[in-house]
Structure 1
Amino acid sequence: MLNQVGAGVVITGTGSATPEMTLNNHHLERMVETSDEWITARTGIQERRLADAQGSLSSIATLAAQGAIAMAGIAATDLDLIILATSTPDDLFGTAGQIQHHLGASQAVAFDMTAACSGFVFGMVTAAQFIRTGAYKNVLLIGADILSRWVDWSDRGTCILFGDGAGAVVMQAGESDRFLGFELRSDGTQNSALQLAYRAQAKEIVNGVNVAQGNFQPIAMNGKEVYRFAVQKVPEVVEKALFRANLSAEQIDWLLLHQANQRILDAVAQRLNIPTEKVLSNLARYGNTSAASIPLALDEAVRQKKIHPGDIIAAAGFGAGLTWGAAIFRWGR
């Protein structure tokens, strides 16, 4: 078990939201040289949800947050802190404040954090530290991304993968401690394997003074390198988090991985000797939703009553940065 500084941490509510518009594999067949059979076999994805031209990150994130707050049985005004894990904000200066406003969470401080597809796990660990120190009692953590904004829809290597969505959890101080262990990692030497890079050109604003102005470029990925990285590093980080929690893989009720590729999910489960029936997956319907994928799958499983109070969940995120991490927790009070 983790050494407790102060209060225990409990996860008491989940929520999720996705845009209404659906793009399936047959649509993609008309856009790029690919096929439904190829996409399904290679990734496990059959369709994904996309925000339309009027869609915003703050709107789907707010809906997910409202579901989590309602399940937790608290009011928005009870929140002390809102953390938004995202790589695709509506505003580069931050979107968490907009969500705070939409929720009416007038007592909460709000900020964005970016760790790409690992963002939700990094956010859980961050929220837990605020709770353990006694600084805050009620924390709303949201993972949300609209990656369709940054996909090159002519690149068949990436456009088949990504979708849009949001998921949220409420984490609260409690007498029992249900946040059992974690491990976080980063390796910037592999940053080029998966990135959404800013590219600029020099602009002279006055004689002798040049600044850089440009735009972010579409998502670029080395699929083979990312697959190799995930299959090697994710089992290791789950095992380290389990060690910190004084648990074994056999004691896990559910393995909840970032929903990137079904082949990755299967390979990680196999390396951990976790049976398929313990692996949560909704990848076929939503694709890779980045920071939203773990809380989106968690909320669905909770509301379907697949996950029961007290179940031990090993969650792991991995992606751009490169970043990866795992968190072990029990669901519910």
Structure 2
Amino acid sequence: MSEIIPVISATGLYTPPEIVTNEELVESFNTYVERFNQRHAAEIEAGEVAALAPSSVEFIEKASGIKARHVMSKAPLLDPEIMAPRWAERPDEELSVLAEMGVKAARDALERAGRDAADVDAVLCACSNMQRPYPAMAIEIQHALGIEGFGFDMNVACSSATFGIQTAADFIRAGHARSVLVVSPEICTGHNNMRNRDSHFIFGDVATAVLVEAKDIAPAQHWDILGTRLKTVFSNNIRNNFGFLNCATPETIGTPDKLFVQEGRKVFKEVVPMVAAMIVDHAETLGLDPAALRRLWLHQANQGMNRLIAQRVLGHEANEDESPTVLDTYGNTSSAGSIIAFHLNSQDLAAGDTGVICSFGAGYSAGSVFVRKAA
């Protein structure tokens, strides 16, 4: 029996139409800060409450490299009295918001591959921010697309998409499927604490899709998957304690841990060397020279992290061509970030060019997918 080789046939992207600039975000945040300090002036004067400090565009861009982000719900996000996404709850019979985003990204990938939804065997919804625990978002997306077969959700935070790609590739190698959609819809603004100066600017919303298929049915323009690798190391330095065993909301006083929290400096110090070493070792295991990689499509979390990881892998400071950035216009989109970078910055590569899609985040978790453009 001949070996079944998995490839990436196409990727898809859904970008929300609304954009929040740093200027708009800072204006909203600083209005909230001013109102908070006024409301608690007496407690602040007495030393019982700490005064909040304002944010600035310069601070945000220096700390992250982010200049704007796409969002699903702009007006309430910028309302100083709300500062969270809001929309009317949909009835159970209507397609959910997260599934709607996923379907749009999936259809884009299918169209690019010249594939009909009926040809797909499975859907994996791999993302950080599930809208509900069940029914699985993947099954709802599968149903909306008219796909037979199976689907399930998986969450490995920012590494979900690369973990999903390896899972899809393993299904294909084992003969359990020949065409698998890995869909990553992310409404990251829903789990971000927009009242925290250190992180109010980090996240944006988006959805991506990756169509992983057996090589013998893939379109001529595809990417061979040379190898995948996954790694997890437990850490509390990035955490979100929200769940159905507690009912905290962004408005609940004293529960910031029910939203995204992180020890940013610790994350930087610990994740950068872990990810760089993982990519280098994985490349060498595959018989590749990491310094000769044509392109690195890295998780879009922080420009400083990406700059240092790329430098350690390539042996020199990477330019925009070698390690493209979408962070400046999309923000951190969790699992979707490295896929956006690949989707928007891969068409120019020539047959035989080799690169790596790499994600990393809470867990800690990290995943690398080495790919080569087919001749």
**TM-score, shorter chain, exceeding 0.5:** yes
> Deviation at 1:183?
2.2
Alignment RMSD, CA only?
2.1
Q: Which has the higher strand share?
A: 1
Deviates more, 1:177-186 or 1:293-302: 177-186
Bigger radius of gyration, 1 or 2?
Answer: 2
**Contiguous gaps of at least 5 residues in structure 2:** 31-53, 74-85, 88-95, 250-257
Cα distance in 2 between the residues matched to 1:306 and 1:29: 36
- Trace 1:322-333 onto structure 2 (pairs within 5 A): 322-332=364-374
**Contiguous gaps of at least 5 residues in structure 1:** 201-211
1:147 and 2:180 are equivalent in the alignment: no
* 1:254-299 Cα distance to aligned partner (Å, 9 max, x none): 1011000111111111111253231021110001000111112211
- Partner of residue 261, structure 1: 302
Contact (CA 8 Å) 1:254, 1:313: kept in 2 or not?
Answer: yes
Q: Which residue of 318, 325, 328 corresponds with 1:284?
A: 328
Cα distance in 2 between the residues matched to 1:259 and 1:5: 38
- Partner of residue 65, structure 2: 44
- Trace 1:1-333 onto structure 2 (pairs within 5 A): 6-30=3-27, 31-32=29-30, 33-52=54-73, 53-54=86-87, 56-93=97-134, 94-105=136-147, 107-175=148-216, 178-188=224-234, 190=235, 192-198=236-242, 213-215=246-248, 217-272=258-313, 273=315, 275-276=318-319, 277-302=321-346, 305-332=347-374
> Deviation at 1:111?
0.8
TM-score norm. by structure 1 comes to 0.89
* 1:40-69 Cα distance to aligned partner (Å, 9 max, x none): 122110001111234821111111111111
TM-score norm. by structure 2 comes to 0.79
Instruction: Assess, with a 3 A threshold, how the Cα gap between structure 1 residues 309 and 67 changes in structure 2: closer, same or farther.
Output: farther
Counterpart amino acid of residue 214 in structure 1: C
Contact (CA 8 Å) 2:298, 2:341: kept in 1 or not?
Answer: no
- Partner of residue 208, structure 1: none
Cα distance in 2 between the residues matched to 1:101 and 1:72: 20
Using CA pairs under 8 Å that are at least 6 residues apart, name the structure with larger relative contact order, 1 or 2.
1
Contact (CA 8 Å) 2:297, 2:339: kept in 1 or not?
Answer: no
> Deviation at 1:248?
1.0
Counterpart amino acid of residue 229 in structure 2: E
Deviates more, 1:31-40 or 1:317-326: 31-40
Cα distance in 2 between the residues matched to 1:165 and 1:242: 30
Cα distance in 1 between the residues matched to 2:161 and 2:309: 19
Cα distance in 2 between the residues matched to 1:39 and 1:77: 45
